[in-house]
Each structure stands twice: as structure tokens, then as C-alpha cells.
Structure 1
Amino acid sequence: MVIIGVDTGGTFTDFIFKKDGKWHIYKTLSTPENPAIAVLKGIKHIGHDQKKDITHGSTVATNAVLERKGAKTAFITNKGFEDIIYIGRQNRKELYNLFYRRPEPLVEQKHCYGINCRVNSKGEIIQEIDENEIDQIIQQLKQENIQSVAVSFLFSFLNPEHEKILKERLIQNGFYVTVSHELIPEFREYERSSTVVINSYVMPKMDYYISYIQENLLPEDQFRIIQSNGGVIAPEVAKKEPVRTVLSGPAGGVVGAYHIGKIIGQTRLITFDMGGTSTDVALIDGQIPFSTEATISDFPVKVPVIDIHTVGAGGGSIAYLDEGGALNVGPESAGADPGPICYGKGEKITVTDANLITGRLLPDYFLGGKIKLDYGRTYRYFEKYAQEWNIPVEKLAEGVLTIANTKMENAIRKISIERGHNPKDFALFVYGGAGGLHAAFLAKSIGIPKVIIPKNPGIFSAFGMLLSDIVKDYSLTVLLDARENSFNHLNQLFETLKEKAITDLKQEGIDQQNIKIQKILDMRYKGQSFEIFVPFSEKFIEDFHNIYEKNYGYKMPDKPVQIVNIRLRATGYKEKPEIEKIIEGTEQIPQEAIIDHRPVIFDGKEYKTAILNRDKLLANNEINSPAIIVEYSSTTVVPPFAKAIIDLYGNIIIEV
């Protein structure tokens, strides 16, 4: 069987695969009009006729929301609450922007419908659902050519009877349907409704995308999708709950970094994934960070996701003069088409072009020489813009890189310093096609002493997907007083979730001995609006106070504590690829690893810089002078202020 990991990015679609006992990598340009085309092209290149085990990270759900290209969707709730998704919350993203406008919801207001039915806060039905009303709404949905429907009734997490009745009728009439009690049985009707709307909005597109790929695979092929929580799910589940894949690709990289970090004894990491369109960062402090407060395009997504912060700065980010005449970069990207100037079609300066002009990116070693970058064309465009903007060419190139680095540095500050973490206590774990070009500069500016660049960083997210287990998240709102509920009583509440989790994982082919159950409580001081995660144990109240103090610097042991939600995470462990050691050498770099010496610009000066072939470097090799390390999927820069060593697993360890 061929084992394949696939990650779809804004510019490239990346593959890592094990065939005939050996690991290989492959990159192809993404096909934004239908991402499945690039995926299938890569699979055909690898070996379409062989039995395959494929794990795929998809951006289809994310892009459908960001680009507003989902299905025509309707929202159904209780009569009188049709405006839930329009009212939202009072929080304002840009407090001092007088012209700020929240993005329009994904459902038009005229397609928000209310039904006369009601369940109270105890889960009791106080008004039955009217079948005639359902018939009338279905007729309206058909007249409006609605394709997908989101259903979210008040207190359905306590009693889902009305949602079940409506779901059955809608499915009978050919609609895609999401009901809140199945996807997210929790309180807070706005966040729950928003999540259900996003799920319905992207469901038809995700269904088509996954089905299109499945139809072009062999019947015996195994195919799974990675979720935003870092676990994988069966394609049929992803079709029904596509909202769980909104951070699918970036999640794979964080999982991979966590596993590599454990192997090399580095459990405190800031992950840095720089691709063609954006940069994703996350902070790992001994464990993968999770959140239930993620947003996409400012819409709440209440399903558990890896806590990843994204900034619009990547290799394809476009440089321009802003309204004040200052040089700026991003968030607009040249993407895969037309791409950077050096690809041969683009006409706007990008971060990739700036790296080429400074000599940090080598035109004849990009993707192993399979794509030759056009330096002459790029320089001519730089001369044109440099003249228009009155900036010398080399200064313009370094300026673009400095601004891009500043934006990415701010993203790192957000997930570290702004949350009480000192970056000096962490290592920067870098991957993505463009990450190695910027890593050392970022580490220096923010005070991170060590940079780790794994093998094949340009396809590392795809590799991380192969390290992912099957993960299922379940939750239920309980709203209980912590002191009045014993450990045994709470344990009983978890049993229903546990039974469902084990059943679901067995259906995906996982044996019971390979299943791990984690129980978590969402807890808060009574009267507060937000909760923190507390691992469930016999001393859960004491643990809550201690975790609260760690997060906020104080605790209130005399104040009543509330359990808001119970959460259960079920992990089905599957076989993972082995992380292999490389051949050991000495401090001396082998002569066959030295390709050339070329001038490279750093801080306005040219430095004689060694060009090294990463595939020829051995463990223990030391790099003590400026160097450009080239490989198929990426390029790594070791600037004059840094030195590097190759560790036993082939990672480049840069010390700043």
C-alpha cells in the first residue's frame, strides 16, 4: 500500500508518500478553480493503480466562507428569534474605527425563518411544532431555490425533538441539512447558530469536492480528511460536518511539530508555517493548544480547533505603496495564478521576488530545478517600481522582506507575549515553503534563541497529517454548581458521550484497546461570561482554581464555581510513519554538500555565502558562516548573525 499525505495550499498542493519502502515528496501548482484537480494530478503521478492510504488537508470549507462562494442557505429557528445571526454580540473588532462594519452574515435576512415551537430552559416542550408551518416553509425554500438549511432551536441541547422532526422533513424534500443538537449541543444560541450556518453553507461544496475525489480513487483505497482539531475523520463525516475542517491544513503542521518536538526533547515550541498566501503560528507549551472560540471571517466557529493565529503574509504577498505613500506588504496575494513575477506571469512585486533579488532564493534550485525562476524579468520589474517609488532596487527588496517579517513577528507576539509567554523560553519550529527564508530574522527580532527546521519543510503539513490520529470531540451543556455535584455524578454524565465515542471509532475500524478517552470540564466562577478548560479528575475544583490563577495571576477560592459544559475527546490511535535518523558525520561539512559560493545581500551589504545541498549534509555538520541551504521543497537562510548544526534526525538547528 502507498501511504500519502496531501496538503492543499494557496500556491502549491504538497504530497509526501511512502512507496516501495521509501519516502518521496512532490509539489504541484494548486488549481483554485477546483482544488481536487491538483490533488488527483498528484495521486496519478504517485501511482493511481496502486492501493493507497490517503490523508488529506483541505481548504475547500475555508475558502468557501472567505470568498463567499458557498451554497444558497436558509436559517430556521424559533418564531421571534429569526435575527439571531444578524444581532450577534456587542463586541466590536475595531473599537476606534468609526466606519467599521461587521461582515454580512452568510444567510440573507429574507431567508431566516421562524417556526412556532418552544422548549424551555429545563428541556420541557411548552409548544409543539406545527406540521403545517413546516410545509409552508418548505414551499418557500423551494421557491427561493434554497440548497442547504441550518436549523438551531433554543435549548435543543436539552431536548432535540423539534430539530429531529424538522430535519427528517427537510431531508425528505432534498435539502442539505445541519441541526444544532447533532453538531454542537451547547448553550449560547448565537455561537451555536453561527457554527450551524457555516456548516450548512459549505456542506454542498464539500460534498461535491470529496465525492469528486472518491470517484477517481480505487474502491479499496482508504481516504481520510484531517480536522481543525488535528485528528482525522472519515470522508462521510467530513461531508456532513465540514465546519470541522476550516483549519484543516495548518492543523497538520502543528501535529507534526508536536511529535518531532517530543522526539528531540523540545516540548515548548512556537510553530511558524509560512506558505504562499499566509503565515500560521501556534504555541505548544507541552501540549497542542485547543480553542472553542475560533472565528472565520469574523463568524464564531464553536467546534474545537487547534489554536492557530493566521496573518496575511506569505511568499506571494504583494508589495505596494499605501495611501500615505509608505511601502506595505499583503494581505493580497498573487497566489498560484498569476503568481510572483519570477514565475513568469505576475506583474506585481511579492515577497518571493524580493528574496530572489537579494540572492536568498536561487533561481536554478527552486523545486529541485523543476521550476526555473526568471531573475532577469524580476529585476526589470523591480527597476520599474523602484523608479516609480523612488527607492533603490536592493533597498526596495530588503524593505519588502523587513515589512513582511514585522507582520509575522506581530503574529508571534499575539500568541506568546500577549498571553503571558516569554518567546525566549521557546524554540521556533519552522516549516512551509517560505519559512526557512525568514526564520532566523524573526528569531533575532523577537528574542527566540533557537530555530528548528525539519526535513522537507515545504511539505511538512502533509507529513504532519500522517502523524494524526482519528479524533472525535463531543460536548454537552450542563450548567451545574461544582460543589453540589460529585466526581461520581459527573462521571455518569460522561457515560453517554463515551458510549457514542467508542461506537463511532469502532465504525472507523479502530479496536477498543487503541482508544483513549479524555474528559474535560468547561468551568468558570459563577457570574462570569467565559470558561476555561479543566481536565476532569477527583480534584477538579482545586484544579480549576490553580489553572485560573496560572492564566490570570489570581484566584478566588471562596467564590462559587460553575461547570458549564462537559467535553469528551476520543482518540483512536493509528499506525504512524517512523521518524528516521540520518547518517552521522563530523563538524566538517562534506565537500559534495557544497554547491557554490555566491554574493547575498544582508543589511545592505553583500556577503560571500555558501550554497549547500541539504540532502548531502550529515548529522553533526556545523555551519558557522552565511549559507543558503537548498532542497526540493524549500530554501533555508543562515544569516551572518547565526550559526547552524544538523541534528540526528536531519533537522537544521539554527542558533541566533
Structure 2
Amino acid sequence: MTKTRVAVDVGGTFTDVCIMDEDTGQIRIEKTPSTPDDPMRAIMTGISDAGIDLADVTMFSHGTTVATNALITRKLPRAAMVCTEGFRDVVEIRRSNKEDLWDTYKDVAKPYIPRRDRLTVKERIDAAGKVIAELDEAEARRVAKILKKRDVKAIAVCFINSYVNGDHEVRMRDILRAEMPDVHISISSQIMPEIFEHERFSTTMVNAVVSPVVVDYVSRLGDKLAEGGYTRDLLLLHTGGGVMTPASVKDFAARLAGSGIAAGALASRFIGNLCGFENSIGFDMGGTSTDVSLCFQGNSTVTKDWYIEYGYPIRFPSIEVLTIGAGGGSLAWKDEGGSLRNGPQSAGAFPGPACYSNGNEVATNSDANVVLGRLGHSLAGGDITLDADLAEKAIRDTVAEPFGMELHAAAEAVIDVANANMANAVRLLSISRGHDPRDFALVAFGGAGALHGAAVAKELSIPVVIVPPNPGVTSAMGCLLVDIQHDFSDSFMADASQTSPEDLEAAFARIEKEAVDRLRHEDVSPENTVLQRTVEMMYQGQWRSLAVSAPATITSTEDLVRGFHDEHEREYNFRREDAPVSIFRVGVKATGVVQKAELPSFEVTPHAPEPASQRDVWFNGKSRRTDVFDRATMKAGAEFSGPAIVEQVDSTVVVPPGATAKIDQYMNILIRVKD
């Protein structure tokens, strides 16, 4: 019996299925058009088309956009919030800032839970955790009855100072469950026990509103897989770069709000490290957007400052990914100043680019690549036929005639604007953070990443572009490279000089017990359990903290403080040895190690590959006769020079003039780009 692992990544245009044979490491792929109204339909279609027997599947991992899309479209069930009296408007007051300080007319979006459904009860705990006023249980029961009449599907319980004492929130949850046993309830002391009330309230609110949507989706998908013979847990990729089981999704649904984009970042890091590059930039360009991630010294950058809509932070740890509206389906348009623009508007999965023949008449990046000869006559192994005449008409009507340009010059202009937008995104994640792109490799993947990767790399003087064996399903492959992972934290606000190792050990013992219990609940054996400690600290008077790794047994707080000074110098380029240091929080990353996918390695024999055909391709205003290679027939060690096109079922690789390419032992294409 063949044992297989299956990973599924749902994108805006395509749903990618990645199937790996456990014995050989051989990977095959299946792409099917996404079904935005119900992503599960595309998943099951892809499984069926790939001929997968779910009874033979030992692991099914899934990166989902369900939570993200629900928040973006606000197709959310009715939810409510229960707050301490006087604090119902914390999520509406926010931080009193705006995404664009200079745009007077652009307001921050309304909270996910409107004011009429944010109710209050009398209770008060002070900042030290002491009860000032007991929870008014009669008032709590009255609120529960009101919410039952309103037929809410989810409730967020957010009491002030519950981060240090969550007893009142727990009691409020019990009262609500007694009245409404089937309602999803999130309490802030469990979701995010941190001092800053807006971030805590916002994260809990987001967790509550997406819970019914996500739990329903996960339950339905799990049932469908079980009907087909799958007997293991469905694993769902979360923003922190690990996977969680349905049991954890019920409590921490908001961790899936950035699920899909994390998979690509993980795969990019893995491929960069595999090729010998500890520093790499992930460049995931799909049909509707481009996701940029950064790996420095072998580790992905992680942030807690992220959101789906500005003003409503989600403070779960997340791999840092910058997303811009630039994809194969991004529309070209003329702005009020008469300049050519590209995106963020997109033709989406349907109708898609004009060349898809589905009725769109506005030029897209894909249409420009067809006109320039960089794309052939079909995509997805022939499932999608590209109409060159419709692509030319769209470029002519949208760009060439309005700007008075020749057809191919107009198509190149569309591509140049798109490349400039994506290069700027890379700059924001690298140069603005103190990293020089010239010290990195660019891992180009996604359906369109390999089309544009070399041009973006040249713009930024990045010397090497890595194109994985299956760039179009690399994000799906990322789901095969992850462990079960959870992040736990607890407030610990104290002067570091007044804190003993025993105090910290006692704090870690509490959350490590919770971490071990969670992994045990998910059937992770003790030998596969790994706990990593961090202590977050700051100079006294600051409010931004930095996390420092802590040993399994803490013997000296001075060592931790010294580590904080080092980390502060690395992050901000200065340190203050004479300044007192405060401890802010202790955290534990709990990992259940899962056997990873391993890419097969091949013997490298340097040789010049034979092109499958030739065609005219436009570069820098000139038509060049260009070799076209079939990647399925290429072997490790193949070396060739640009201009060249490499076609495969899930993507197309462009090697521009002046660049050289080589296939390594893992079948990655390494493109050396010259300035």
C-alpha cells in the first residue's frame, strides 16, 4: 500500500494539491480553479482529479483562507461582546490613529461587533489582580438572556485587567454557556493575557467572530475526508508557522486568519536553506496578489503587529508577510494624473485575464506576458487556453491607444509597473528593516513568481533567483514542512533586578503544563514534544518589548538581561547597559514534531539541455528568438543562458538576456542575474 501525504493550499485563482509519496519523496501536483463561494468544493475536486485514495493518506495538511476571506468580506455571523462596565468602546476608540494620517476622509473600518451588541456588566479587578468589585452575577445572567434573544452565534468576553486575573471572565463564560451551550465563547484571559486592552480586546473579538465560520468549515471538511477513508487528524496551518488540529481551532480560530500566506513563507525558507542560503526572500506571486517574506540567518521573521483590517490587531505570533495587490490578474489602468497604474484591482479567478476568454476586456499582467511571448498558449497543463488575440486587444484598448504606445511597448510598460510595485514591497521588508537585498537569494514561486522573479531581482541587485521544482504549488508544499505548534504566554511585569530565577521558573511551570496538556490532547508523544522559552523585556519607561531566548533551566537573570542588551543592539543599533530593565512577559512555543517531507536528490551531471521549441519573445523593446524548454524533461546539472523560457504544468520561468541558469540536485533552477 502506498503511503502518501497530501497538502492543499487555496489561492485566489487556483487551489493547489501537493501529493508526496512517503517512500520515495516523489512529489506530484494537481491544480484546479478555486471556488470562492465554498473552498471545500475545489479541494474535493482536486483530490478526485489527482486520483487520491484518502485511505492511503497518512497526513492531510491544509492552508486555508476561510477566516481571512470572512473578515475581508465581513460575511460573519452575529456576535456580541461582554465588557466591564465603562469599557464597551475600547475596540471603537482603538489607538485613535489612522492608516494614512494625511487622508482626512478615509475612516478606519467599523468594529466587527457593533456597539449595540457590546454589553457590559459590573466587575472590577485592579492591575495587581486584586478584586475591587465582585462580578454582578444577576446582571451577568440578564445579559446572557438578552444575547440569547438576539440569537448571537459567538461572544467575546473582555474584562479590564483580566490579563492578571481571569476568574471573572471564566465565571462569565460559565453563565453564558448555561444559557447558550452551543454558542462560541472566547475570553480574553485565555486568548491573549496581555496588558494592552485594545490589542487584547481586538484579538478576542476577531477570534470570536471567525469561530463559527472556521469551526463549521473545518468540521465539514473533516467529515468529507473521513467519508473518503481518511482516519487521521486534519492539520491546519496557522500564522505562526505550525499546524493545529480541529480541537485547537475551536479555541483559537483567529490563528487561521493568515493561514494561507504562512505556507509560502515556510516553503521559501526551507528551499533557501536547502540551496545553501540562510538569507532568502520569499516572492510568492499568484493570480491576485504577491506575498513577500524574509528569512534571516535561517529563521523567518515573526511579528505580533499584524491585522486583516487596519485598526483591529490580531496579536497571535505570525510569520511576517507583506501582501500587495499584484498578481497575474492585476488590472492595468490610467489614473487621474494620466499615469499608468497596475492593481490592486484584479480580474480574480473569474472572469480572469482577457486571454481566459471569460468576458474581461481590461488588460492584466497575464495578458501582457502573452503579448510579449513569455506565456505560451495554455496554463495548468492545457486546462486553460490562452487567447493571444484577446490579450492583444485588451493591451491595445487599455494601454497602447490611451497612452499612444506601440503594442509591445505597452505590454512591457504594464510589466515594468507591476515589477516596480513588487520591488518596492521587497524593499519595505528588507531595506527598511536594515537588511541589504544583495545579501539574499530570491525564492520565486506561485503561479507567476517565476515569470517576474528575475526582473525584480535585477531591480534590487539580488544576485540569485531560486525557482523550486513546482513553483505553482510551493505554498501547498509548505504545509508538508511544518510541525504542530502552539504559542503560550503570560504577563510577568517586574523589575529584572528584583526577580529571582525561582520566580521565573514558577511562571514558566504554569504555562508549560498548559502547553504539554495541549499537545497531549492532540496525541503528541512526550518524545516528540519540544518546548522553547522566551522572556520579553524592555528598558524601564519603554512600552515596546523584545523577546530573548531563555534556557530550559534559568539559573541567572543577569544572563537574560545581557541577552536583552544584545538583542536591543541588534534590533535598534544601540544598548544602554546602565538603564534598568523590566520583564514584561514569559512565553513558551510548544512544538509537536512531525516527520517532514524530504525532497529527492539527484546526481548532478553538467550538460546543455535540448530546447523543446523556439518562439519570439520581447525583452527591452526587441524581439528575441528564444529557446523554450520543457521542465519535465530537464535533468539535474542542466546549464543554459538567457533569453530562455522554461514551461511546466504549474508555472512558466523567464530567464532574461544576460542571465544564466543551472538546475541543482534538488531540481531547483538557480538563475544568476547580472546588473
Secondary structure at 1:208 match in 2: helix
SS in 2 for 1:295: coil
Deviations 1:548-570 (A, max 9, x none): 11111111111111111111001
CA drift of 1:325 comes to 2.1
> Is the counterpart of residue 6 in structure 1 residue 8 in structure 2?
yes
Counterpart selection for 2:354 from 341, 351, 363: 341
Secondary structure, aligned partner of 2:479: helix
Residue deviations 1:267-323 (CA, integer Å, cap 9, x gap): 111111111111111111121211111121112111111011111111111111112
Structure 2 counterpart of 1:224: 235
Instruction: Give secondary structure in 2 for the equivalent of 1:5.
Output: strand
* Alpha-carbon distance in 2 for matches of 1:490, 1:209: 40
Which residue of 95, 102, 107 corresponds with 1:101? 107
Aligned position for 2:32? 28
- Secondary structure at the residue paired with 1:145? coil
Q: 1:47 aligns with which of 41, 49, 52?
A: 52
Residue-pair matches, total = 652
Residues in 2 aligned to 1:23 and 1:422: alpha-carbon distance in whole angstroms:
34
Distance of aligned partners of 1:626 and 1:534 in 2 relative to their CA distance in 1, 3 Å threshold: same
Deviations for 1:87-137, whole angstroms, at most 9, x for unmatched residues?
111333212222231111111111111110111111111111122212222
2:667 aligned with 1:650: yes
1:214 aligns with 2:222: yes
Aligned-residue offset at 1:601:
0.8
Please give the alpha-carbon distance, in whole angstroms, between the structure 2 residues aligned to 1:595 and 1:117. Answer: 74
Q: Shift in Å at residue 193 of structure 1?
A: 0.6
- Structure 1 stretch displaced more, 99-108 or 222-231: 99-108
Answer yes or no: is 1:141 the counterpart of 2:143.
no
Q: What is the rounded CA distance, in whole Å, between the counterparts of 1:331 and 1:264 in structure 2?
A: 33
Matching residue within 38, 41, 48 for 2:42: 38
* Residue 575 of structure 2 corresponds to residue 569 of structure 1: no
Alignment of 1:493-532 (within 5 A): 493-532=507-546
**Which amino acid counterpart does residue 97 of structure 1 have in structure 2?**
D
The alignment's TM-score, normalised by the length of structure 2, stands at 0.94
1:404 shift after superposition: 1.0
* Matched residue type, 2:489: S
Identity of aligned residues (%): 36
2:651 alignment counterpart: 634
* Aligned partner letter, 2:601: K
Which of 375-384 and 268-277 deviates more? 375-384
Q: Secondary structure at the match of 1:43?
A: helix
How far apart are residue 164 of structure 1 and its match?
Answer: 1.0
Determine if contact 2:494/2:583 at 8 Å carries over to the other structure: yes
Between the aligned partners of 1:239 and 1:289, the Cα distance in structure 2 is 27
The amino acid that maps onto 1:200 is: A
Q: Is residue 141–residue 176 contact of structure 2 (8 Å, CA) maintained in 1?
A: no
Q: Which residue of 2 aligns with 1:233?
A: 244
2:368 partner amino acid? A
User: Displacement, 1:11?
Assistant: 0.5
Matches within 5 A, 1:246-645: 246-286=257-297, 287-298=299-310, 299-345=312-358, 346-364=360-378, 366-385=379-398, 386-537=400-551, 538=556, 539-589=559-609, 591=610, 594-645=611-662
Q: Distance in 2 between matches of 1:160 and 1:205?
A: 26
Indicate the SS of the match to 1:557: coil
User: Which one is further off, 122-131 or 447-456?
Assistant: 122-131
Change (3 A) 1:216 1:111: same
Letter in 1 for 2:613: D
- Given residue 13 of structure 1, which amino acid in structure 2 is its aligned partner? T
Give the whole-Å Cα distance in 1 for the aligned partners of 2:54 and 2:465. Answer: 41
Q: Which moved more, 1:283-292 or 1:163-172?
A: 163-172
Q: Could you tell me whether the CA contact under 8 Å between 1:474 and 1:568 is conserved in 2?
A: yes
Give distance in 2, aligned partners of 1:371 and 1:94. 40
Give a deviation string over 1:218-270, Cα, whole Å, max 9, x none: 26243110010110000231233111011111211222222223332211111
TM-aligned CA distance change 1:509 to 1:396, over 3 Å: same
Cα displacement string for residues 323-347 of structure 1 (whole angstroms, at most 9, x for unaligned residues): 2221111112111111111111122
Residue 461 of structure 1 and its aligned partner are, at CA, apart by 0.8
Specify the code of the residue in structure 2 equivalent to 1:60. Answer: V
Q: Once the two structures are superposed, what CA deviation does each residue of 1:41-70 show, in whole Å capped at 9, x if it has no partner?
A: 122333255342210000011111111111
Q: Verify the 8 A CA contact 1:48 1:217 in the aligned structure 2.
A: no
Which letter maps to 1:175?
V
The answer on 1:195 being equivalent to 2:203 is yes
Residues in 1 aligned to 2:642 and 2:445: alpha-carbon distance in whole angstroms: 22
Amino acid at match of 2:567: I
TM-score relative to the length of structure 1: 0.97
Match of 1:92 in 2: 98
CA distance in 1 between counterparts of 2:658 and 2:37 reads 43
For structure 1, which segment, 610-619 or 578-587, has the greater mean C-alpha deviation from structure 2 after superposition?
Answer: 578-587
Contact 1:210 1:239 in 2 (8 A): no
Unaligned runs of 5+ in 1: none
Secondary structure of 1:240's match?
Answer: coil
Aligned CA RMSD, in angstroms, stands at 1.6
Deviations 1:556-591 (A, max 9, x none): 1111111111110011111112121134322322x3
SS of alignment partner, residue 314 of structure 1: coil
Counting only pairs closer than 5 Å after superposition, residues 149-160 of structure 1 correspond to structure 2 as: 149-160=155-166
CA shift, 1:19, in A, is 4.9
Q: Give the distance between the partners of 2:251 and 2:164, measured in 1 at CA.
A: 22
Return 569-578 or 436-445, whichever deviates more.
Answer: 569-578
CA contact (8 A) 1:51 1:221 kept: no
**CA-CA distance at 1:631 after TM superposition:** 0.9
One-letter code aligned to 1:424: R
* Alpha-carbon distance in 2 for matches of 1:263, 1:382: 40
Q: Assess, with a 3 A threshold, how the Cα gap between structure 1 residues 99 and 49 changes in structure 2: closer, same or farther.
A: closer
Query: Of 160, 168, 176, which aligns to 2:184?
Result: 176
Distance, in Å, in 1 between the alignment partners of 2:177 and 2:471 is 44
Separation (CA, whole Å) in 1 of partners of 2:502 and 2:670:
48
Shift of 1:512: 1.1
- Offset of 1:540 from its aligned partner? 1.0
- Structure 1 residues 143, 222: closer, same or farther in 2, change over 3 A? closer
Q: Distance in 2 between matches of 1:361 and 1:536?
A: 51
Q: Report if the CA contact (8 A) 1:56-1:465 is conserved.
A: yes
Structure 2: distance between partners of 1:254 and 1:387: 40
Contact 1:51–1:220 (CA<8 Å) still a contact in 2? no
* Structure 2: distance between partners of 1:641 and 1:136: 74
| 8 Å contact kept, 1:2–1:50 | no
SS at the partner of 2:453? helix
Q: Which amino acid aligns with 1:213?
A: L
C-alpha separation between the residues in 2 aligned to 1:262 and 1:499? 33
Tell me, in whole angstroms, the C-alpha distance in 2 between the residues paired with 1:497 and 1:214: 30
Q: Secondary structure at the match of 1:216?
A: helix
